Amino acid sequence: AWIRKKRDDPPTIEEILKNENYREEMKQKIKDVSEKDKLLQAKEYKEGLVAEPVHTRVKGHASAPYYGKKEPSQDPTSTASTFQPGSWMPPGSGSSHNK
């Protein structure tokens, strides 16, 4: 505020130290909360309460309108301006996924 001419006098050493301590406390609190959130998410995934995020696999290059063979896939795919959601395939249909 003092540098921007919003305040007439410069900050005191006490104010500077107080602000630095506040920033450090906030960093620690944020770190603690994010760790708790990660543990909670891991617990929920393990218990099956929440589905794990699905990653869309990008095949080909963004500027290519068509890439590779067009065959149904269990995984969602994205190429250029198109998006193909994953398809259901019956078990034992020769799928490349063995889970």
Tens digit of each residue's pLDDT, the chain (99 residues): 788 888 888 889 999 999 999 999 999 999 999 999 999 888 888 877 777 766 666 666 666 665 555 665 666 666 667 776 777 667 765 545 544
* Under 8 Å between Cβ of 77 and 87: no
Ordered by start, the domain boundaries in the chain are: 2-47
Q: Partners of 79 in the beta sheet?
A: 82
Position of tokens 């398809």? 87
* Under 8 Å between Cβ of 80 and 65: yes
Q: Which pTM value belongs to this model?
A: 0.43
